Amino acid sequence: MRIGLFATCLGDTLFPEAVKSTAVLLARLGHDVVFPPDQTCCGQMHVNTGYQREPVPLVRRFAEQFGDASIDAVVMPSGSCAGSVRHQHEIIAERYGDAALRAGVSTVKAKTYELSEFLVDVLGVSRVGAYFPHRVTYHPTCHSLRMLRVGDKPLKLLRAVEGIDLVELPEADSCCGFGGTFALKNAETSTAMLQDKMRNIAATDAAVCTAGDSSCLMHIGGGLSRIRSGTRTLHLAQILGSTRTAPYALTEAAR
């Protein structure tokens, strides 16, 4: 399959390791990974903060970069960006776009996937040849869970990882408190939510808390780092990308 990789603006800039793992993993599974070079951002931050005119050019660029018929699927290591492409681009195109944008958006929407749904639903694999001999807990991010309905697909993938000690996170499906600009506009409420999430993570005694969104992990990881917790965060793609021949060393720098 020819897969268009969307790095996401945050992944490309701040969390390249998660995107690298995604690219390598998909190639390792025998797929042709292409990176449309003029991609930037899906515009989610704008929409969620209340701006719908401003991201029109971003939505258009996304549709142009990934609309190409030679691209069979668009894959990204982010539930919230996939959610934005699937649920928000249409609203924007309806409101401020032209016929071409509306058409482009609906073409791309139909072939857009978050990494775990792509692996499990489209490729039909759960065992991806990963090796990760550590204690891990999984936090399902809200947009993966409720916008994309990824369900237990990430857990299926994790359970099939060789050597992993997967422990259930208490109150897993409660929000970590990130919410994009929510963490700035309502910083104290966000922190209160984060504290409960960190308490639950601590209860698992895991070395790693993983999730399908770098943004939520940035928030959770930032909190864990501040309290000097022994647990660190790692994107799901990095665990799936870790192999016996190239194992991920937990002592490596965070990114």
Partner 1 sequence: MSTFLGMPATPPRSPYGTGNLRGDRKFPKAAHDELRNEQLRRNLGKATRTIRTKRLGVTGELPDWEQLRDAGSAIKTDTMNRLPELLEQLEQKVTEHGGTVHWARDGAEANEIVARLVRATGSSDVIKVKSMATQEIGLNEHLESIGITPYETDLAELIVQLADDKPSHILVPAIHRNRDEIRQIFLDEIPGVDPDLDNVPAHLAAAARAYLREKFMTTKVAVSGANFGIAETGTLSVVESEGNGRMCLTLPDTLITVMGIEKVLPRYQDLEVFLQLLPRSSTGERMNPYTSMWTGVTPGDGPQDFHLVLLDNGRTAALADTIGREALNCIRCSACLNVCPVYERTGGHAYGSTYPGPIGAVLTPQLAGMDAAEDDPNSSLPYASSLCGACFDACPVKIDIPSMLVELRHQHTEQSGTTAEKLAMKAAAGVMKRPKLFAAAQKAAALGRIAGGRDGTISHLPAPLSGWSDSRDTPAPPKQTFRSWLASAEGAATMSAAAEEGARHTADDHEEDR
* Span 139-198, contacts to partner 1 by CB under 8 A: 142-143, 145-147, 173-175, 177-194
- 216: tokens are 């939520």
CA distance 215 to 69: 30
Q: Which residues are CB-contacts of 52 (< 8 A; sequence separation ≥ 6)?
A: 46, 91, 92, 95, 96
**Contact status: 41 vs partner 1 (CB under 8 A):** yes
Q: Least distance from C-beta 11 to partner 1, angstroms?
A: 6
Taking alpha carbons only, the member of 34, 35, 38, 25 closest to residue 2 is 34
**Contact status: 230 vs partner 1 (CB under 8 A):** no
Determine how β-strand 112-114 pairs with β-strand 135-138. Answer: unpaired
Question: DSSP assignment of 88-119, as one string?
Answer: IHHHHHHHH--HHHHHHHHHHHTTEEEHHHII
Please report, to the nearest 10 degrees, the dihedral formed by the alpha carbons of residues 180, 226, 169, 166 taken in order. 110
**Contact status: 96 vs partner 1 (CB under 8 A):** no
Please, which residue, 88 or 166, has the CB nearer to partner 1? 88
Q: Least distance from C-beta 39 to partner 1, angstroms?
A: 8
Please, which residue, 106 or 189, has the CB nearer to partner 1? 189
Number of residues that bind partner 1 (CB under 8 A): 78
Taking alpha carbons only, the member of 133, 78, 117 closest to residue 243 is 133
**Contact status: 100 vs partner 1 (CB under 8 A):** no
Please, which residue, 67 or 177, has the CB nearer to partner 1? 177
Please select the residue that binds partner 1; options are 2, 27, 106, 203, rule is CB under 8 A. Answer: 27
Please, which residue, 77 or 166, has the CB nearer to partner 1? 77
Q: Least distance from C-beta 182 to partner 1, angstroms?
A: 5
CA distance 136 to 168: 9
**Contact status: 34 vs partner 1 (CB under 8 A):** no
Q: Least distance from C-beta 69 to partner 1, angstroms?
A: 22
Q: Least distance from C-beta 168 to partner 1, angstroms?
A: 17
How far CA 206 is from CA of 28, 233, 248, in Å, comes to 28, 10, 16
